[in-house]
């Protein structure tokens, strides 16, 4: 497993990568408030099936340093990643996305469908199913310029956020404090530079682009696999999942029971098994 930084103009996209470079590329997109590290275990297992696995830190997250403000929106993320894929001459990409990364994925496949071979979406946002209330509060703080200030003052206690995050999991033992700090906390709620760019992303977080994109999604012929955790408090099957099932014309569905929102952490073995079932 290695970190590689790609220069895209004046911007630096940081990617977690694993495996031997080949034509079988699996691109993983994380959600909020995670970073690319959420995919580490999945990438380690999928690489054994011959895939070159890449997980970027999206704009506003992790180690990516993005200086062009136009890329901080969901649509901007999609434009940046598609440009990077084209620059790297990557084709027939398997796009795998979770949570807010699913919004970026939906925009990517309608803008440049020829880059991709297939898509897997798990408990993703779509249309107007987001922002959820907890994220909306952060958006309001960010628009007032208070998120960065609160983070700098240490108001976002790691222990308090950890306790709240564990409640999302059915099997709470999965989320250790070290795992939480590496994937979710990682400076964005405390460190000046990280919280500043996270605030910039939050200020531009809107469902406008996914709403505008819904009609375009209906024309996508790529095979889409919806792998859904059925105990999700945020993006339920009845809401987000059924919207996508009824939107894509080439879709199949796998439901994972007794599992919360972060299925790639909570039931990783089963998740990987369903990923490779074609």
Residue 166 lies in a domain: no
Residue 138 lies in a domain: no
pLDDT at 21: 86
Residue 153 lies in a domain: no
pLDDT at 215: 97
CATH number at residue 257: 3.40.50.1820
For residues 241 and 228, the answer to whether their CB atoms sit within 8 Å is yes
- Bridge-based pairing of strands 2-8 and 11-18 is antiparallel
pLDDT at 49: 94
Place of tokens 């796998």: 254
The CA distance from 255 to 245, in Å, is: 12
pLDDT at 23: 82
- Bridge-based pairing of strands 251-256 and 2-8 is unpaired
The number of beta carbons lying within 10 Å of the beta carbon of residue 244 is 24
Domain count, the chain: 1
User: Going residue by residue through the chain (278 aa), what tens digit of pLDDT does each one get?
Assistant: 999 999 999 999 999 999 988 889 999 999 999 999 999 999 999 999 999 999 999 999 999 999 999 999 999 999 999 999 999 999 999 999 999 999 999 999 999 999 999 999 999 999 999 999 999 999 999 999 999 999 999 999 999 999 999 999 999 999 999 999 999 999 999 988 999 999 999 999 999 999 999 999 999 999 999 999 999 999 999 999 999 999 999 999 999 999 999 999 999 999 999 999 97
Residue 33 lies in a domain: yes
Whether a cis peptide bond, with omega within 30° of 0, leads into 33 is yes
For residues 47 and 34, the answer to whether their CB atoms sit within 8 Å is no
- Could you tell me the residue range of the domain that residue 268 belongs to? 2-130+212-275
Residue 202 lies in a domain: no
Residue 90 lies in a domain: yes
- The reply to whether the predicted model has a pTM over 0.85 is yes
Residue 169 lies in a domain: no
Residue 234 lies in a domain: yes
């Amino acid at each position: 497993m290695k970190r590689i930084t790609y220069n895209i103009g004046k911007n630096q996209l940081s990617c977690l990568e694993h495996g031997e470079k080949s034509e079988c590329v699996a691109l993983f997109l994380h959600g909020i408030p995670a970073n690319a590290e959420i995919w580490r275990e999945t990438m380690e297992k999928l690489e054994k099936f011959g895939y070159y696995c890449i997980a970027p830190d999206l704009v506003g997250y992790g180690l990516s340093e993005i200086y062009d403000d136009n890329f901080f929106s969901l649509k901007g993320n999609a434009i940046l990643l598609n440009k990077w894929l084209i620059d790297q001459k990557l084709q027939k990409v398997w796009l795998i996305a979770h949570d807010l990364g699913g919004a970026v994925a939906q925009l990517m496949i309608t803008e440049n469908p020829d880059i991709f071979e297939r898509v897997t979406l798990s408990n993703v946002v779509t249309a107007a199913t987001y922002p959820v209330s907890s994220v909306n509060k952060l958006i309001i703080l960010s628009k007032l310029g208070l998120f960065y200030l609160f983070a700098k003052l240490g108001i976002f206690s790691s222990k308090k956020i950890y306790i709240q995050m564990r409640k999302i999991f059915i099997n709470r033992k999965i989320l250790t404090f070290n795992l939480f700090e590496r994937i979710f906390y990682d400076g964005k709620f405390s460190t000046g530079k990280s919280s500043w760019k996270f605030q910039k992303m939050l200020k531009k977080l809107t469902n406008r682009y996914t709403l505008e994109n819904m009609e375009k999604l209906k024309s996508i012929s790529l095979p889409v696999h919806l792998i859904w955790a059925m105990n999700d408090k945020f993006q339920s099957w009845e809401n987000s999942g059924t919207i996508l099932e009824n939107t894509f014309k080439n879709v199949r569905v796998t439901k994972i029971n007794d599992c919360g929102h972060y299925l790639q952490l909570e039931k990783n073995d089963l998740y990987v098994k369903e990923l490779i079932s074609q």
